[in-house]
Structure 1
């Protein structure tokens, strides 16, 4: 499955496989967004079916780049597999994951 990127205001909605084949496309979309807008960026991973180390590294570097320019990059919709990868790679310390409200 190929990567699809939809821009919705400050949010980049990703769907498909986020792996070594799509990292450049996602990286370019994030950096274009940071260059063209004076606002924070949300990367929505809700519809991402698979993610690999290369993809997580792109998100970590983009987070640092956003911070350098005075913005935040927040990850939304991280499923348990993505969260596990972030913890295993210790990139959870670098990226900002949106907190999900726990329903009662």
Structure 2
């Protein structure tokens, strides 16, 4: 798992699974603590993702909300969206809305 920052955006790439949840969780909370603005977690370059990883994102979203801020997920592909729906975590996270071409 590679984690890079780009302003308020945390960019993840590689395999986001149970082996990388501690590293990602720490990066998210560090990033939230270091920015007064809302934070975006970009999953565009994530190859694989499991439910444990999505739970980390759901809990981080809830914690950010408690502080009056937003944590938004960007670049959730079909597999991640499907897993969010199947695990019922979709209602706990905020996905970035993408404009569809007319």
Fold equivalence (TM over 0.5): yes
Residue correspondences, number: 102
CA distance in 1, matches of 2:28, 2:6: 12
Consecutive unaligned residues in structure 2, runs of 5 or more: none
Residue 48 of structure 1: SS of its match in structure 2?
Answer: strand
Query: How do residues 2-13 of structure 1 correspond to structure 2 at under 5 angstroms?
Result: 3-13=1-11
Q: CA deviation digits over 1:21-65, x for unaligned, max 9?
A: 111111001000111111111000000000001100000000000
Over aligned residue pairs, what C-alpha RMSD do you find? 0.6
CA distance in 2, matches of 1:79, 1:12: 17
Residue 7 of structure 1: SS of its match in structure 2?
Answer: strand
Residue matched to 1:35: 33
- Runs of 4+ with >6 A deviation: none
Consecutive unaligned residues in structure 1, runs of 5 or more: none
